[in-house]
Amino acid sequence: MIWNTIESASREEIEAIQLKRLQETARRVYALNPFYKEKFEERGITPEDIRSLEDLQRLPFTRKQDLRDHYPFGLFCVPMREVVRIHSSSGTTGKPTVVGYNAHDMEVWNEVMARVYTMSGVGAEDVVHNAYGYGLFTGGLGFHYGAEKVGATVVPASGGFTDRQLMLMRDFGATVLACTPSFALHLAEVAAKAGSEFRKDYKLKVGIFGAEPTSEGLKKEVAKAWGIEYREVYGLSEIIGPGVSCSCSHSDRLHIFEDHFLPEIIDPETGEVLPDGERGELVITTLTKQALPIIRYRTGDITSLVKEPCGCGRAMVRMESIVGRADDMLIVNGVNVYPSQVEHVIANTEGVTLNYQIIAEKKGHLDKLEIMVEVSEEIMSDNVGELERIRKALQESLLNNLYINALVKLVEPNTIERSMGKAVRVVDKRR
């Protein structure tokens, strides 16, 4: 099913809509926001100079720091009396990034989330167990109102309280699970303690997961653990929240809703726009937001784009699952390493689970990398020989595939701290 026929429009139709909306957005920020007007003038450009989509490259980038520098409402383009919702980041590394929505923006958000649910086969007959966090984080409410728009029943469970979550999922007959993939796996691990046939107690058919980079191995693990279809959603609060893109049953790549979000891929070092298919940093320009329109936002997420139509009937550009973040990439003795690459190697190693943590430290002038990985329940902790075989196999695989010489440490199941939100995969003690 397709929620909106625009999703299957021709490339020419899509690009015509994008150009019209890009021109409108450029005029809006130039007229209503001193920050953008100054940025435009620094580049010697006005909104009237935007005559084609290629002219997008002439516009300035926006960075997360720009939102922090204008905390809290300095980048808003509507008066506060028109703002109906405010969200923000946690602000754990300084001032939070604050985002605002007017009534029009809320309609856009609900629209793109309705597309996500429809793409995932969710409708009025479904019960959505929403275990994304509610509050200033955009996940909970974004998923909530999108589900209501397609007529589904929503259980606003939020995060934490694992046993209670499982009880609600079972007793309320949840058919859809919405949460981070790491929390979904944690829920399955706890549920499995009740018996290997625990899935018979649940009616889940699909899960819509996001909010953290995820390897193919973890996706398969979550899908297998629950016996469900895996859908991946992508979004970020600065752009809208969840609902920028979503995967379908025909492709692991995620369809970007291009009539609302104009994507580019750039070289994270030079800012140069890269051709389709090449991997780099995702940059997004909002095309329909009014309260907080964003020009060329550097997401920091590493991915690639392809424009070929999909077997599902949608023609909008598709993005690769996020490989990692430009600022989360580890440089270990000169080698670039993303956590998702490590996770992929772990996923192809027998006897271990996908619960792991990477610890980077400095030893003299050299980097030292330790990777803690939980062994599976089937491996006996007193079988020293088998544990050593697994450890060596994983260590050699990391060296052969990623060219990193890491110390692998196997630990017992449930040793590494779980997260009800985003999993902490990297601890960099070199900083």
User: CATH code at 408?
Assistant: 3.30.300.30
Q: Which of 305, 326, 347 is the last residue of a domain?
A: 326
pLDDT the model gives residue 92: 46
pLDDT in tens, 315-351: 999 999 998 777 777 878 777 787 878 988 999 899 9
Are 360 and 289 members of one domain?
no
Same domain, 311 and 334: no
CATH of the domain at 252: 3.40.50.12780
Q: How would you write 340-365 as a 3-class SS string?
A: HHHHHHHHCCCCEEEEEEEEEEEECC
What is the helix, strand, coil percentage profile of the chain, to 5? 35, 25, 40
Co-location of 265 and 132 in the same domain: yes
Q: How many domains does the chain have?
A: 2
355 and 288 in a common domain: no
Regarding whether 256 and 161 lie in a shared domain, the answer is yes
> Taking Cα atoms as reference points, which of 416, 71, 425 lies closest to residue 214?
425
Q: What is the pairing mode between strands 324-325 and 297-303? A: antiparallel
For residue 391, the enclosing domain spans 330-428
331 DSSP β-pair partners: 336
409 CB neighbour count, 10 Å cutoff:
14
The pLDDT value given to residue 340: 77
Q: Is 275 in the same domain as 361?
A: no
Query: Could you tell me which residues come within 8 angstroms of residue 284 by beta carbon, excluding any fewer than 6 positions away?
Result: 239, 244, 261, 262, 263, 264, 294, 296, 297, 299
Query: What values do phi and psi take at 249, rounded to 5?
Result: -75, -10
CB 259 within 8 A of CB 108: no
DSSP 252: E
Q: Which of 369, 368, 380, 339 is nearest to 356 (CA)?
A: 339
CA-wise closest residue to 194 among 163, 218, 221: 163
pTM: 0.83
Both 33 and 157 in one domain: the answer is yes
The tokens for 186 are: 């944690």
Query: Are residues 310 and 339 part of one domain?
Result: no
Q: How many C-beta atoms lie closer than 10 Å to residue 338's C-beta?
A: 21
Distances (CA, A) of 400 to 342, 394, 395: 12, 10, 9
Residues 316 and 407 placed together within one structural domain of the fold: no
Phi, psi of 385 (to 5 degrees): -65, -45
Check whether residue 376 and residue 227 sit in a common domain: no
Are 155 and 174 spatial neighbours (Cβ–Cβ below 8 Å)?
A: yes
Q: Of 326, 341, 358, which residue constitutes the final position of a domain?
A: 326
Question: Cα separation of 231 and 180, whole Å?
Answer: 11
Q: Tell whether 273 and 391 lie within a shared domain.
A: no
pLDDT of residue 91: 57
| Helical residues (DSSP H) of 2-127, grouped into ranges | 11-32, 34-42, 64-69, 103-119
- pLDDT beneath 50: ranges in the chain: 92-93
Residue where a domain stops, chosen among 285, 306, 326: 326
Q: Are residues 354 and 273 in the same domain?
A: no
Helix (H) or strand (E) holding 188: helix 181-192
- Measured N-to-C along each axis, helices 103-119 and 138-149 cross at an angle, to the nearest 10 degrees, of 70
Give me the pLDDT at residue 139, please. 95
* Angstrom distances, CA of residue 40 to CA of 26, 29, 50, 62, 157: 9, 10, 11, 12, 44
